[in-house]
Protein backbone atom coordinates (compact mmCIF):
# COMPACT_ATOMS: atom_id res chain seq x y z
CA UNK A 1 0.00 0.00 0.00
CA UNK A 2 1.28 3.48 -0.85
CA UNK A 3 2.55 5.31 2.22
CA UNK A 4 1.40 8.74 1.18
CA UNK A 5 -1.95 7.75 -0.30
CA UNK A 6 -2.77 5.73 2.79
CA UNK A 7 -2.23 8.71 5.00
CA UNK A 8 -5.12 10.57 3.36
CA UNK A 9 -7.95 9.66 5.69
CA UNK A 10 -10.93 11.95 5.74
CA UNK A 11 -12.12 10.63 9.04
CA UNK A 12 -8.72 11.16 10.57
CA UNK A 13 -8.35 14.67 9.24
CA UNK A 14 -11.83 15.84 10.18
CA UNK A 15 -11.16 15.69 13.90
CA UNK A 16 -7.69 17.21 13.93
CA UNK A 17 -7.41 20.19 16.17
CA UNK A 18 -5.03 23.04 15.41
CA UNK A 19 -1.55 22.28 16.69
CA UNK A 20 -1.52 25.64 18.40
CA UNK A 21 0.11 28.83 17.23
CA UNK A 22 2.91 29.65 19.62
CA UNK A 23 4.76 32.89 19.30
CA UNK A 24 8.13 31.74 18.03
CA UNK A 25 11.29 33.69 18.60
CA UNK A 26 12.51 34.56 15.12
CA UNK A 27 15.95 33.65 13.91
CA UNK A 28 17.51 36.15 11.50
CA UNK A 29 16.21 34.58 8.28
CA UNK A 30 12.75 34.06 9.70
CA UNK A 31 12.61 37.62 11.03
CA UNK A 32 13.84 39.06 7.75
CA UNK A 33 11.16 37.18 5.84
CA UNK A 34 8.39 38.31 8.17
CA UNK A 35 9.42 41.97 8.08
CA UNK A 36 9.80 42.00 4.29
CA UNK A 37 6.49 40.20 3.78
CA UNK A 38 4.42 42.67 5.77
CA UNK A 39 4.23 44.99 2.73
CA UNK A 40 2.10 42.28 1.07
CA UNK A 41 -0.42 42.05 3.94
CA UNK A 42 -3.94 41.41 2.70
CA UNK A 43 -2.87 39.31 -0.27
CA UNK A 44 -3.11 35.55 -0.68
CA UNK A 45 -0.50 33.13 -1.97
CA UNK A 46 -0.99 29.52 -2.94
CA UNK A 47 1.30 26.59 -2.24
CA UNK A 48 1.10 23.07 -3.65
CA UNK A 49 1.43 20.49 -0.89
CA UNK A 50 1.06 16.74 -0.74
CA UNK A 51 -2.55 15.83 0.06
CA UNK A 52 -3.38 14.26 3.39
CA UNK A 53 -1.31 14.12 6.52
CA UNK A 54 1.53 16.29 5.17
CA UNK A 55 -0.85 19.18 4.50
CA UNK A 56 -1.78 19.50 8.16
CA UNK A 57 1.45 21.47 8.58
CA UNK A 58 0.43 24.46 6.40
CA UNK A 59 -3.28 24.05 7.14
CA UNK A 60 -3.06 23.91 10.93
CA UNK A 61 0.33 25.25 11.88
CA UNK A 62 2.56 27.18 9.50
CA UNK A 63 -0.10 28.75 7.28
CA UNK A 64 -2.11 30.31 10.15
CA UNK A 65 1.08 31.38 11.93
CA UNK A 66 2.40 33.08 8.76
CA UNK A 67 -0.90 34.93 8.35
CA UNK A 68 -0.77 36.03 11.98
CA UNK A 69 2.80 37.31 11.55
CA UNK A 70 2.43 38.99 8.14
CA UNK A 71 -1.23 39.38 7.19
CA UNK A 72 -0.72 37.16 4.11
CA UNK A 73 -3.17 34.31 3.68
CA UNK A 74 -1.94 30.93 2.48
CA UNK A 75 -4.11 28.82 0.20
CA UNK A 76 -3.03 25.17 0.40
CA UNK A 77 -3.60 23.24 -2.83
CA UNK A 78 -3.56 19.58 -1.88
CA UNK A 79 -2.38 17.23 -4.61
CA UNK A 80 -1.62 13.49 -4.33
CA UNK A 81 2.11 13.02 -4.65
CA UNK A 82 1.69 10.77 -7.70
CA UNK A 83 0.04 13.71 -9.54
CA UNK A 84 2.19 16.59 -8.31
CA UNK A 85 4.83 16.50 -11.04
CA UNK A 86 2.26 16.41 -13.84
CA UNK A 87 0.05 19.13 -12.35
CA UNK A 88 3.00 21.45 -11.80
CA UNK A 89 4.05 21.02 -15.43
CA UNK A 90 0.49 21.44 -16.71
CA UNK A 91 -0.03 24.63 -14.73
CA UNK A 92 3.29 26.00 -15.95
CA UNK A 93 2.42 25.33 -19.58
CA UNK A 94 -1.03 26.87 -19.12
CA UNK A 95 0.55 29.91 -17.46
CA UNK A 96 -2.44 30.61 -15.25
CA UNK A 97 -0.41 31.75 -12.25
CA UNK A 98 -2.52 29.50 -10.05
CA UNK A 99 0.51 28.16 -8.19
CA UNK A 100 2.88 30.47 -6.33
CA UNK A 101 4.99 28.23 -4.10
CA UNK A 102 5.62 24.52 -4.66
CA UNK A 103 6.71 21.34 -2.95
CA UNK A 104 8.87 19.28 -5.29
CA UNK A 105 10.70 15.99 -4.88
CA UNK A 106 14.39 16.76 -5.48
CA UNK A 107 14.83 14.08 -8.15
CA UNK A 108 12.19 15.94 -10.23
CA UNK A 109 14.12 19.18 -10.25
CA UNK A 110 16.26 18.62 -13.36
CA UNK A 111 13.15 17.89 -15.45
CA UNK A 112 11.19 20.82 -13.99
CA UNK A 113 14.09 23.23 -14.51
CA UNK A 114 14.55 22.12 -18.12
CA UNK A 115 10.81 22.73 -18.63
CA UNK A 116 11.20 26.24 -17.20
CA UNK A 117 8.71 25.58 -14.39
CA UNK A 118 10.90 26.62 -11.45
CA UNK A 119 12.10 30.11 -10.54
CA UNK A 120 15.83 30.67 -10.05
CA UNK A 121 16.03 31.45 -6.32
CA UNK A 122 19.56 32.89 -6.20
CA UNK A 123 18.43 36.54 -6.55
CA UNK A 124 15.89 36.08 -3.76
CA UNK A 125 18.37 34.29 -1.48
CA UNK A 126 20.72 37.28 -1.77
CA UNK A 127 18.00 39.93 -1.64
CA UNK A 128 16.60 38.54 1.61
CA UNK A 129 19.88 37.51 3.24
CA UNK A 130 19.34 33.76 3.39
CA UNK A 131 22.63 32.44 2.00
CA UNK A 132 24.44 32.06 5.35
CA UNK A 133 21.57 30.26 7.07
CA UNK A 134 21.25 27.89 4.11
CA UNK A 135 24.72 26.60 5.01
CA UNK A 136 23.32 25.05 8.20
CA UNK A 137 21.27 22.53 6.24
CA UNK A 138 22.91 19.10 6.53
CA UNK A 139 25.42 18.63 3.70
CA UNK A 140 23.82 15.67 1.96
CA UNK A 141 20.68 17.71 1.35
CA UNK A 142 22.34 21.11 0.88
CA UNK A 143 25.00 19.91 -1.55
CA UNK A 144 22.84 17.54 -3.56
CA UNK A 145 19.18 18.55 -3.48
CA UNK A 146 19.22 22.33 -3.89
CA UNK A 147 20.84 23.23 -7.19
CA UNK A 148 20.54 22.42 -10.88
CA UNK A 149 23.30 23.57 -13.25
CA UNK A 150 24.83 25.68 -10.49
CA UNK A 151 21.68 27.63 -9.59
CA UNK A 152 19.39 27.30 -6.57
CA UNK A 153 15.90 26.11 -7.47
CA UNK A 154 14.80 24.41 -4.23
CA UNK A 155 15.28 24.79 -0.48
CA UNK A 156 15.77 21.25 0.94
CA UNK A 157 13.01 20.81 3.51
CA UNK A 158 12.71 17.17 4.51
CA UNK A 159 15.35 14.80 5.86
CA UNK A 160 13.98 11.65 4.27
CA UNK A 161 16.49 8.84 4.77
CA UNK A 162 16.19 5.12 5.42
CA UNK A 163 17.05 3.99 8.94
CA UNK A 164 17.63 0.47 10.33
CA UNK A 165 15.37 -0.18 13.30
CA UNK A 166 16.20 -3.13 15.51
CA UNK A 167 14.89 -4.60 18.74
CA UNK A 168 17.60 -4.17 21.35
CA UNK A 169 15.97 -6.73 23.63
CA UNK A 170 15.83 -9.42 20.90
CA UNK A 171 19.32 -8.90 19.48
CA UNK A 172 20.61 -8.66 23.06
CA UNK A 173 18.85 -11.84 24.23
CA UNK A 174 21.54 -14.17 25.73
CA UNK A 175 19.84 -17.22 24.20
CA UNK A 176 19.96 -15.75 20.71
CA UNK A 177 23.49 -14.43 21.20
CA UNK A 178 24.69 -17.87 22.32
CA UNK A 179 23.05 -19.57 19.36
CA UNK A 180 24.69 -17.08 16.99
CA UNK A 181 28.14 -17.67 18.47
CA UNK A 182 27.71 -21.41 18.28
CA UNK A 183 26.63 -21.24 14.63
CA UNK A 184 28.98 -18.56 13.28
CA UNK A 185 31.84 -18.55 15.82
CA UNK A 186 31.63 -14.81 16.44
CA UNK A 187 29.62 -12.49 18.67
CA UNK A 188 26.26 -11.40 17.31
CA UNK A 189 26.73 -7.92 15.81
CA UNK A 190 24.41 -5.31 17.33
CA UNK A 191 23.38 -3.88 14.96
CA UNK A 192 24.44 -5.79 11.83
CA UNK A 193 26.64 -3.58 9.67
CA UNK A 194 26.81 -5.63 6.46
CA UNK A 195 24.15 -7.42 4.45
CA UNK A 196 25.82 -10.74 5.21
CA UNK A 197 25.59 -10.02 8.95
CA UNK A 198 22.00 -8.89 8.52
CA UNK A 199 21.08 -12.15 6.79
CA UNK A 200 22.83 -14.24 9.46
CA UNK A 201 21.22 -12.35 12.38
CA UNK A 202 17.75 -12.23 10.84
CA UNK A 203 17.63 -15.87 9.78
CA UNK A 204 18.98 -17.05 13.14
CA UNK A 205 16.32 -15.10 15.09
CA UNK A 206 13.58 -16.70 13.01
CA UNK A 207 15.19 -20.10 13.53
CA UNK A 208 15.50 -19.73 17.31
CA UNK A 209 12.10 -18.10 17.95
CA UNK A 210 10.14 -20.04 15.36
CA UNK A 211 8.97 -16.74 13.91
CA UNK A 212 7.86 -15.14 17.17
CA UNK A 213 9.19 -12.70 16.23
CA UNK A 214 10.56 -13.08 12.70
CA UNK A 215 14.11 -11.86 12.25
CA UNK A 216 13.06 -9.00 9.97
CA UNK A 217 10.70 -7.79 7.28
CA UNK A 218 10.82 -5.11 4.64
CA UNK A 219 8.38 -3.42 2.38
CA UNK A 220 8.86 -5.43 -0.77
CA UNK A 221 6.03 -3.92 -2.84
CA UNK A 222 7.54 -2.52 -6.03
CA UNK A 223 7.04 1.21 -5.35
CA UNK A 224 9.15 0.92 -2.20
CA UNK A 225 11.34 -1.83 -3.53
CA UNK A 226 12.53 0.61 -6.18
CA UNK A 227 14.23 2.73 -3.51
CA UNK A 228 15.57 -0.29 -1.65
CA UNK A 229 17.02 -1.76 -4.84
CA UNK A 230 18.77 1.51 -5.70
CA UNK A 231 20.47 1.50 -2.30
CA UNK A 232 21.58 -2.13 -2.18
CA UNK A 233 22.64 -2.17 -5.83
CA UNK A 234 25.11 0.62 -5.16
CA UNK A 235 26.18 -0.87 -1.82
CA UNK A 236 27.15 -4.00 -3.82
CA UNK A 237 29.25 -1.86 -6.16
CA UNK A 238 26.71 -1.42 -8.95
CA UNK A 239 26.58 1.55 -11.35
CA UNK A 240 23.44 2.53 -13.22
CA UNK A 241 25.07 3.35 -16.57
CA UNK A 242 28.37 3.17 -18.43
CA UNK A 243 29.29 6.87 -18.45
CA UNK A 244 30.78 6.76 -21.96
CA UNK A 245 28.27 4.65 -23.87
CA UNK A 246 25.28 5.32 -21.57
CA UNK A 247 24.36 1.65 -21.88
CA UNK A 248 22.46 0.51 -18.80
CA UNK A 249 24.51 -1.65 -16.42
CA UNK A 250 21.68 -2.48 -14.07
CA UNK A 251 21.99 -6.13 -15.12
CA UNK A 252 25.52 -6.43 -13.74
CA UNK A 253 26.41 -9.14 -11.17
CA UNK A 254 25.67 -6.58 -8.43
CA UNK A 255 22.07 -6.22 -9.57
CA UNK A 256 21.55 -9.96 -9.96
CA UNK A 257 23.00 -10.54 -6.47
CA UNK A 258 20.54 -8.07 -4.90
CA UNK A 259 17.47 -9.72 -6.42
CA UNK A 260 18.80 -13.21 -5.67
CA UNK A 261 19.46 -12.23 -2.04
CA UNK A 262 15.94 -10.78 -1.72
CA UNK A 263 14.38 -14.09 -2.73
CA UNK A 264 16.58 -15.96 -0.25
CA UNK A 265 15.77 -13.54 2.61
CA UNK A 266 12.04 -13.89 2.09
CA UNK A 267 12.30 -17.52 3.21
CA UNK A 268 12.95 -16.43 6.82
CA UNK A 269 10.68 -13.38 6.73
CA UNK A 270 6.89 -13.42 7.37
CA UNK A 271 4.79 -15.26 4.75
CA UNK A 272 3.52 -12.88 2.07
CA UNK A 273 6.19 -10.24 2.76
CA UNK A 274 6.68 -9.70 -0.97
CA UNK A 275 3.38 -7.74 -1.05
CA UNK A 276 4.11 -5.57 1.98
CA UNK A 277 4.04 -1.80 1.72
CA UNK A 278 4.52 0.98 4.25
CA UNK A 279 1.59 0.13 6.51
CA UNK A 280 1.89 -3.66 6.64
CA UNK A 281 5.57 -3.42 7.51
CA UNK A 282 4.91 -0.70 10.11
CA UNK A 283 2.17 -2.72 11.82
CA UNK A 284 4.33 -5.84 12.06
CA UNK A 285 7.24 -3.97 13.61
CA UNK A 286 5.20 -1.87 16.07
CA UNK A 287 3.27 -4.94 17.22
CA UNK A 288 6.49 -6.81 17.93
CA UNK A 289 6.16 -9.37 15.14
CA UNK A 290 9.54 -8.56 13.56
CA UNK A 291 12.91 -7.81 15.13
CA UNK A 292 14.41 -5.57 12.43
CA UNK A 293 13.21 -3.41 9.57
CA UNK A 294 14.21 -0.45 7.41
CA UNK A 295 12.08 2.57 6.68
CA UNK A 296 11.78 6.36 6.79
CA UNK A 297 12.21 8.36 10.05
CA UNK A 298 8.55 8.38 11.17
CA UNK A 299 8.80 4.66 12.03
CA UNK A 300 11.27 5.54 14.78
CA UNK A 301 9.07 8.24 16.31
CA UNK A 302 5.96 6.09 16.22
CA UNK A 303 7.76 3.04 17.62
CA UNK A 304 8.55 5.20 20.64
CA UNK A 305 4.90 6.24 20.84
CA UNK A 306 5.67 9.89 20.06
CA UNK A 307 2.62 11.74 18.77
CA UNK A 308 0.47 8.69 18.19
CA UNK A 309 -2.19 10.03 20.54
CA UNK A 310 -2.97 12.67 17.90
CA UNK A 311 -6.24 11.86 16.18
CA UNK A 312 -4.56 12.28 12.80
CA UNK A 313 -2.36 9.30 13.70
CA UNK A 314 -5.16 7.12 15.04
CA UNK A 315 -4.50 4.69 12.16
CA UNK A 316 -0.97 3.99 13.47
CA UNK A 317 -0.94 0.78 15.55
CA UNK A 318 -0.16 1.39 19.19
CA UNK A 319 3.48 0.55 19.76
CA UNK A 320 4.20 -2.55 21.80
CA UNK A 321 7.93 -1.96 21.63
CA UNK A 322 8.49 1.55 23.05
CA UNK A 323 11.86 1.78 24.77
CA UNK A 324 13.16 -1.37 23.06
CA UNK A 325 14.18 0.04 19.67
CA UNK A 326 17.67 0.88 18.45
CA UNK A 327 18.39 3.14 15.45
CA UNK A 328 21.32 2.74 13.06
CA UNK A 329 22.59 3.17 9.53
CA UNK A 330 21.34 0.51 7.16
CA UNK A 331 23.74 -2.40 6.40
CA UNK A 332 26.50 -1.12 4.13
CA UNK A 333 26.43 2.30 5.80
CA UNK A 334 24.89 4.22 2.89
CA UNK A 335 21.11 4.58 3.34
CA UNK A 336 18.89 5.71 0.50
CA UNK A 337 17.56 9.26 0.92
CA UNK A 338 14.35 8.05 -0.77
CA UNK A 339 12.28 10.99 -2.02
CA UNK A 340 12.17 13.97 0.36
CA UNK A 341 10.83 17.42 -0.44
CA UNK A 342 12.21 20.82 -1.41
CA UNK A 343 10.39 24.16 -1.40
CA UNK A 344 10.33 26.08 -4.68
CA UNK A 345 8.64 29.01 -6.43
CA UNK A 346 6.67 28.60 -9.64
CA UNK A 347 8.14 30.56 -12.54
CA UNK A 348 4.60 31.43 -13.64
CA UNK A 349 3.64 32.91 -10.24
CA UNK A 350 2.57 36.54 -10.20
CA UNK A 351 3.45 36.85 -6.52
CA UNK A 352 7.01 35.60 -6.53
CA UNK A 353 8.41 37.76 -3.74
CA UNK A 354 5.76 36.90 -1.13
CA UNK A 355 5.88 33.26 -2.27
CA UNK A 356 9.64 33.19 -1.82
CA UNK A 357 9.45 34.92 1.58
CA UNK A 358 6.98 32.30 2.76
CA UNK A 359 9.26 29.40 1.81
CA UNK A 360 12.31 31.12 3.31
CA UNK A 361 10.40 31.47 6.58
CA UNK A 362 9.17 27.85 6.44
CA UNK A 363 12.68 26.64 5.74
CA UNK A 364 14.48 28.86 8.30
CA UNK A 365 16.31 27.21 11.18
CA UNK A 366 13.84 28.41 13.79
CA UNK A 367 10.55 27.64 12.03
CA UNK A 368 11.69 24.37 10.46
CA UNK A 369 12.62 23.05 13.92
CA UNK A 370 9.04 23.58 15.06
CA UNK A 371 7.77 21.87 11.89
CA UNK A 372 9.92 18.74 12.20
CA UNK A 373 8.58 18.30 15.74
CA UNK A 374 4.99 18.17 14.50
CA UNK A 375 4.08 14.54 15.12
CA UNK A 376 1.79 14.22 12.12
CA UNK A 377 3.44 16.27 9.37
CA UNK A 378 6.11 13.74 8.18
CA UNK A 379 8.80 16.40 7.81
CA UNK A 380 12.02 14.89 9.13
CA UNK A 381 15.09 16.59 10.68
CA UNK A 382 17.48 18.01 8.09
CA UNK A 383 19.40 20.89 9.74
CA UNK A 384 22.27 21.15 12.19
CA UNK A 385 20.03 22.77 14.80
CA UNK A 386 17.49 19.93 14.44
CA UNK A 387 20.08 17.27 15.23
CA UNK A 388 21.47 19.32 18.14
CA UNK A 389 18.13 20.43 19.58
CA UNK A 390 17.88 19.71 23.31
CA UNK A 391 14.12 20.21 23.07
CA UNK A 392 13.88 17.51 20.39
CA UNK A 393 16.06 15.13 22.44
CA UNK A 394 13.53 15.37 25.26
CA UNK A 395 10.57 14.25 23.13
CA UNK A 396 11.12 10.59 24.12
CA UNK A 397 13.86 8.77 26.10
CA UNK A 398 15.85 7.54 23.06
CA UNK A 399 15.32 10.61 20.86
CA UNK A 400 19.01 11.57 21.06
CA UNK A 401 20.01 8.15 19.68
CA UNK A 402 17.39 8.55 16.94
CA UNK A 403 18.73 11.98 15.95
CA UNK A 404 22.28 10.62 15.87
CA UNK A 405 21.24 7.94 13.37
CA UNK A 406 19.50 10.51 11.17
CA UNK A 407 22.52 12.79 11.34
CA UNK A 408 24.82 9.92 10.30
CA UNK A 409 22.50 9.24 7.35
CA UNK A 410 22.68 12.92 6.43
CA UNK A 411 26.40 12.43 5.83
CA UNK A 412 26.57 9.08 4.01
CA UNK A 413 23.08 8.83 2.44
CA UNK A 414 22.69 8.01 -1.26
CA UNK A 415 20.76 10.21 -3.68
CA UNK A 416 17.85 8.87 -5.66
CA UNK A 417 18.71 8.51 -9.33
CA UNK A 418 17.93 11.84 -11.01
CA UNK A 419 18.33 12.17 -14.77
CA UNK A 420 16.01 13.22 -17.59
CA UNK A 421 12.66 11.42 -17.27
CA UNK A 422 13.81 9.55 -14.18
CA UNK A 423 10.38 8.10 -13.53
CA UNK A 424 10.50 6.09 -16.77
CA UNK A 425 13.65 4.34 -15.58
CA UNK A 426 12.20 3.82 -12.11
CA UNK A 427 9.06 2.35 -13.64
CA UNK A 428 11.32 -0.25 -15.28
CA UNK A 429 12.68 -1.14 -11.84
CA UNK A 430 9.19 -1.37 -10.40
CA UNK A 431 8.18 -3.78 -13.16
CA UNK A 432 11.35 -5.80 -12.56
CA UNK A 433 10.48 -6.23 -8.89
CA UNK A 434 6.94 -7.32 -9.74
CA UNK A 435 8.37 -9.94 -12.11
CA UNK A 436 10.74 -11.14 -9.39
CA UNK A 437 7.83 -11.88 -7.06
CA UNK A 438 6.11 -13.66 -9.93
CA UNK A 439 8.99 -16.13 -9.88
CA UNK A 440 11.05 -15.09 -12.91
CA UNK A 441 14.83 -15.41 -13.12
CA UNK A 442 16.76 -12.36 -11.77
CA UNK A 443 19.27 -12.29 -14.64
CA UNK A 444 16.55 -12.46 -17.30
CA UNK A 445 14.53 -9.76 -15.54
CA UNK A 446 17.46 -7.36 -15.33
CA UNK A 447 18.61 -8.06 -18.91
CA UNK A 448 15.14 -7.03 -20.08
CA UNK A 449 15.17 -3.99 -17.77
CA UNK A 450 18.54 -2.88 -19.11
CA UNK A 451 17.27 -3.21 -22.69
CA UNK A 452 14.22 -1.11 -21.81
CA UNK A 453 16.44 1.52 -20.16
CA UNK A 454 18.59 1.67 -23.32
CA UNK A 455 15.48 2.36 -25.41
CA UNK A 456 14.48 5.20 -23.07
CA UNK A 457 17.97 6.67 -23.31
CA UNK A 458 17.95 6.49 -27.12
CA UNK A 459 14.56 8.22 -27.29
CA UNK A 460 15.79 11.05 -25.04
CA UNK A 461 19.12 11.27 -26.84
CA UNK A 462 22.31 9.56 -25.68
CA UNK A 463 24.41 12.75 -25.59
CA UNK A 464 21.71 14.71 -23.78
CA UNK A 465 21.22 12.02 -21.15
CA UNK A 466 24.95 11.47 -20.75
CA UNK A 467 25.33 15.12 -19.80
CA UNK A 468 22.52 14.85 -17.23
CA UNK A 469 23.87 11.59 -15.81
CA UNK A 470 27.42 12.87 -15.49
CA UNK A 471 26.13 15.94 -13.62
CA UNK A 472 24.21 13.68 -11.22
CA UNK A 473 26.98 11.08 -10.86
CA UNK A 474 29.51 13.79 -10.00
CA UNK A 475 27.58 14.77 -6.86
CA UNK A 476 29.17 13.65 -3.57
CA UNK A 477 26.44 11.17 -2.64
CA UNK A 478 25.51 9.64 -5.99
CA UNK A 479 27.64 6.58 -5.23
CA UNK A 480 29.31 5.32 -2.02
CA UNK A 481 32.72 6.87 -1.46
C-alpha separations of 1 from 18, 279, 282 in Å: 28, 7, 11
Residue 5 pLDDT:
38
Residue 375 pLDDT:
87
Question: Whose CA is closest to 336, among 198, 230, 250, 420?
Answer: 230
Q: What is the mean pLDDT of the chain?
A: 92
Asked if residue 266 has pLDDT above 50, the reply is yes
Asked if residue 17 has pLDDT above 80, the reply is no
Instruction: Give residue 2's pLDDT band: very low, low, confident or very high (50, 70, 90).
Output: very low
Task: For the chain, give every domain's residue range.
Answer: 38-160+338-411
Contacts of 314 (CB under 8 A, 6+ apart): 12
pLDDT tens per residue, range 224-251: 999 999 999 999 999 999 999 999 999 9
Question: Whose CA is closest to 68, among 29, 122, 26?
Answer: 26
What is the torsion angle, in degrees rounded to the nearest 10, for the CA atoms of residue 56, residue 59, residue 64 and residue 70?
Answer: 110
CA 408 – CA 193 distance, rounded (Å): 14
Residue 144 pLDDT:
83
Mean pLDDT over 264-293 rounds to 97
CA 9 – CA 315 distance, rounded (Å): 9
Instruction: Give residue 27's pLDDT band: very low, low, confident or very high (50, 70, 90).
Output: low
Asked if residue 216 has pLDDT above 60, the reply is yes
Residue 12 pLDDT:
33
CA 364 – CA 125 distance, rounded (Å): 12
**3-state secondary structure string across the chain:** CCHHHHCCCHHHHHCCCCCCCCCCCCCHHHHHHHHHHHHHCCCEEEEEEECCHHHHHHHHHHHHHHHHHHCCEEEEEEECHHHHHHHHHHHHHHCCCCCCEEEECHHHHHHHHHCCCECCCHHHHHHCCCHHHHCCECHHHHCCCCEECCEECCEECCCCCCEEEEEHHHHCCHHHHHHHHHHHCCCCCCCCCCHHHHHHHHHHHHHHHCCCCECCCCCCCHHHHHHHHHHHHHHCCCCCECCCCCCECCCCHHHHHHHHHHHHHHCCCCCCHHHCCHHHHHHHHHCCCECEEEECCHHHHHHCCCCCCCHHHCCCCCCCCCCCEEEECCCCCCCECCCCCEEEEECCCCCHHHHHHHHHHHHCHHHHHHHHCCCCCCCCCCEHHHHHCHHHHCCCCCHHHHHHHHHHHHHHCECCCCCCCHHHHHHHHHHHHHHHHCCCCHHHHHHHHHHHHHHHHHHHCHHHHHHHHHHHHCCCCCCCC
C-alpha separations of 137 from 153, 384, 389, 411 in Å: 15, 6, 14, 11
CA 8 – CA 10 distance, rounded (Å): 6
CB 76 within 8 A of CB 63: yes
Asked if residue 11 has pLDDT above 80, the reply is no
Question: Cα 448 to chain center, whole Å?
Answer: 28
Question: Cα 254 to chain center, whole Å?
Answer: 24
pLDDT tens per residue, range 165-182: 999 999 999 999 999 999
Asked if residue 288 has pLDDT above 50, the reply is yes
Mean pLDDT over 403-419 rounds to 95
38-160+338-411: which CATH architecture? 3-Layer(aba) Sandwich (3.40)
- Residues, the chain: 481
pLDDT tens per residue, range 124-150: 999 999 999 999 999 899 988 899 989
pLDDT tens per residue, range 54-68: 999 999 999 999 999
Pairing of strands 292-295, 325-328: unpaired
Asked if residue 18 has pLDDT above 50, the reply is no
Residue 24 pLDDT:
39
Amino acid sequence: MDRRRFLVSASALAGVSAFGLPRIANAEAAKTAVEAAKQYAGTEISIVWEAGLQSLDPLNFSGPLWEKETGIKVKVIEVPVAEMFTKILQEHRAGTGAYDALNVIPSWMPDLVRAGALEDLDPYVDKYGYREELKTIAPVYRDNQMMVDGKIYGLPDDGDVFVLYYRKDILGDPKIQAAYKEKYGTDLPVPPKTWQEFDQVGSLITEVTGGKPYGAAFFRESAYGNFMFQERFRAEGGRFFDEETMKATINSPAGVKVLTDWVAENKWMPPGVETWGFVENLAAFLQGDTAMTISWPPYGRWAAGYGTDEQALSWVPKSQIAGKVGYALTPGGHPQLAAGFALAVSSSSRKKDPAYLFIQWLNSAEISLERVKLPYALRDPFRENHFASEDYKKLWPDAAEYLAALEAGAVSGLLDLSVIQTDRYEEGLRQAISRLWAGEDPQKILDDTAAAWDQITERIGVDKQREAYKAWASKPNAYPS
